[in-house]
Amino acid sequence: MQTESEQILWKKPCDYQYLFLDMNAFFASCEQQEHPELRGKPVAVTPTPCPTGCVITASYEARAYGVKTGFMVRDAQKLCPKLIIRSSDTFTYLKYHKKFISIIANLTPFYQVKSIDEVLIRLSPQDQNYANSIAFANIIKNQFKLKIGSSIRASIGISANSFLAKFASERQKPDGLTMLELKNISTFFRQTKLTDFCGISYRMQNQLNRFAIYTPLDFYNQNIETLKKYFGKIGQYWYLRLHGYDMLDVFTDNPLRSLSQSHVLEPKVRRWNLAWAVCEKLIFKASRRLREEKLNTKLIWLFIKTTDRKYYKKSLKIPATCDTFSLVNYYKTMWQEIIPEFELPLKIMLVFTHLSSSKYYQHNLFVSCDKKLLLSKTLDKIHHTFGRGKILPATILKIIESAPDRISFGQPKF
């Protein structure tokens, strides 16, 4: 007998159910919109504006020279000598993110923010046809130009489910609009490769090749029983998403299994006393994320990489908590046990595992523990109202510029 979720899956797909919006070269476009003198020029954005910094996005003018995300700044400048390097500006990008989300929210309530530059929209029943879905996409594009600016562009894909809509949005950039109808899906897949699918790495491609699946069309033409035999439930999942079935109502039980925070230390803070201050700042950030996700951790890890490329690690089982001040004390204990005698610190990483929902947390009988948690939540409220970093321990002030907030590539938190 089919379960309720399986019955949902086997409803006939609708070609025009989802619209996926992907902002084009978003960080670089924000820089060009904010600074008119940069428009039409090759621009690259990096968190670390130095020769060894990493390019996190490049404008289309820079991409014409072969500059890509992940390049080192010095390599990008060799390809494009006139490349303009911009240091990443988190708050500017969030400002433009809020602007385009506000436009979408005024057009439809059925949207989901997927990341800082991606939004999924479930089209209303009256828009689930070819003409209306295309018209709706063009309304979004026109609103962006009128209310934000001509430099902020988006590629849009429309299809039967969120996976195919996102896949379609990648087809034409910048400023594209692609409709992927199920009747044309074979033609569409002939023009792509397996690694074009989100979620398929070269390693997974090799696994698929073992079963004579070499192209997206090979994958699409496999029957569900064969894929389930080869790959279990994941095989069924891929069959359904490739054939346009709506996957939002199933396979959603995917709780966060770990949470981490890391930072490569700048040369000036590669001293153990200063490195601890950075570690403390990372704990504040990571514990705040725990509370945002309504989670507690029961096993914490500390990883330290030193300048001579050695690794040191320590773990500690603790009572379930998301309290910043308790976590600082636990990490201080591990820190004192792990410090090597001669090497200097290069990188710090914290990992919280054994996560559980804080909804069902049984409070400790000792009032002092609850006071610490209440204080942590009060700090969250202050940061939410007045901005992050308004209240910090004095020990962090000496490294205040280290480990700055970066753009999250998951759903933005405000």
pLDDT in tens, 267-292: 888 999 899 999 999 998 899 888 88
Q: Which two tokens stand for residue 211?
A: 């079963």
Residue indicated by tokens 């894909």: 157
Q: Give the residue, 256 or 264, on which the prediction is more confident.
A: 264
More confident residue, 49 or 252: 49
CA distances from residue 375 to 185, 318, 323 in whole angstroms, order as listed:
55, 20, 9
pTM passes above 0.75: no
Distances (CA, A) of 30 to 99, 147, 266, 282, 367: 11, 14, 27, 28, 48
Helix and strand counts by DSSP (H, E) for the chain: 15, 13
Report the amino acid identity of residue 321: T
Q: Residue 344: what are its φ and ψ, rounded to 5°?
A: -105, 150
Which parts of 195-267 are beta strand (E)?
A: 259-264
pLDDT of residue 127: 92
- How do residues 337-360 score in pLDDT, each as one tens digit? 988 777 899 999 999 999 888 765
Tokens, residue 138: 């063009």
Structural domains of the chain, ranges and CATH numbers in brackets: 4-23+98-145+158-242 (3.30.70.270), 26-92 (3.40.1170.60), 259-399 (3.30.1490.100)
Q: Is 162 exposed, middle or buried (0-12, 13-18, 19+ CB in 10 A)?
A: buried
Q: How far apart are CA 55 and CA 328, in angstroms?
A: 33
- Cα atoms in the Cβ-side hemisphere of radius 13 Å centred on 379: 21
Instruction: Tell me: pLDDT of 10 over 60.
Output: no
Cα separation, 325 vs 260, in Å, equals 17
pLDDT (tens digit per residue) in 87-117:
999 889 999 999 999 999 999 989 988 889 9
Amino acid at 163: F
Tokens describing residue 313: 């690690």
* Element (DSSP H or E) covering residue 91: helix 90-107
Q: Helices (DSSP H) in 108-161: which residue ranges?
A: 130-147
Pairwise CA distance, residues 182 & 262, whole Å: 43
